[in-house]
Structure 1
Amino acid sequence: MASEQAEHAQQHPIRIYLIIWGLLFVLSVFSYLVDYAGFEGLLKWTLITLFMLLKAGLIVAVFMHMIWERLAIICAVLIPPGVLLVLMALMALEANYTLFTRLRFFLQ
């Protein structure tokens, strides 16, 4: 029974993994070049975050085999963190509003 399952197991070509390793290396180089080029402020952190998210997406898609999974599994794994990120953004907006309201009230 186990040998029958092994015969039907899908194997991905090593070429895909080597390409992803190359892309991860290139994205890491770009991330270091942002710091080396001397970018400052919002541009620097936007670029570093972009490269970080691209690398994380590649790792999740290929090395965690999410690209070959069914939509239900993808939704079960990716939607909850997305919802948490939205809620965190809403909390940050509320915190800023509260802070600025207090500063305005107490500094009058």
Structure 2
Amino acid sequence: MAQTAAHADTQQHPIKLYLVVWGWLFILSTCSYLVDYFNLEGTLRYSLILLFMMLKAGLIVAVFMHLAWERLALSYTILVPVGAVLVFVGIMAYEADYTFLTRLEFFAPGP
């Protein structure tokens, strides 16, 4: 009897939600494949692949890991460190370019 009451209190998400998310994951995976199929190169290629990857990861975390229905504090606990890491990676990439160009200029053979 107690087990039945516990199941009645839980929230059930409609199956349509999971099917829609599965459809979007299929569409995003197809787009990732098309980036390779059309032989896109350079920054556009990597930007699109990363964009599709982040969108798929966001859908999976939000729906299948139920983060969309959690408290805001828990969402911030998970998302803020990931955002901070991405910001720091961007800063390091910028700094790496600056360091590389500075070394090229400093160590360039003289006239």
TM-score, length-scaled by structure 1: 0.90
Match in the other structure for 1:21: 22
String of CA shifts for 1:27-85, please: whole Å, max 9, x gaps: 11111111112222222222111111111110011001011111111000100111111
Structure 2 stretches lacking a partner, 5+ long: none
Q: Provide the aligned length of Structure 1 versus Structure 2.
A: 108
Shift of 1:94: 1.7
Cα distance in 1 between the residues matched to 2:72 and 2:50: 26
Letter in 2 for 1:87: F
Structure 1 stretches lacking a partner, 5+ long: none
Match in the other structure for 2:40: 39
Shift of 1:97: 1.4
| Equivalent runs, 1:1-108 vs 2, <5 Å | 3-107=4-108, 108=110
Letter in 2 for 1:95: A
Cα distance in 2 between the residues matched to 1:75 and 1:3: 34
Structure 1 residue runs of 4 or more that deviate by more than 4 Å after TM superposition: none
Letter in 2 for 1:35: D
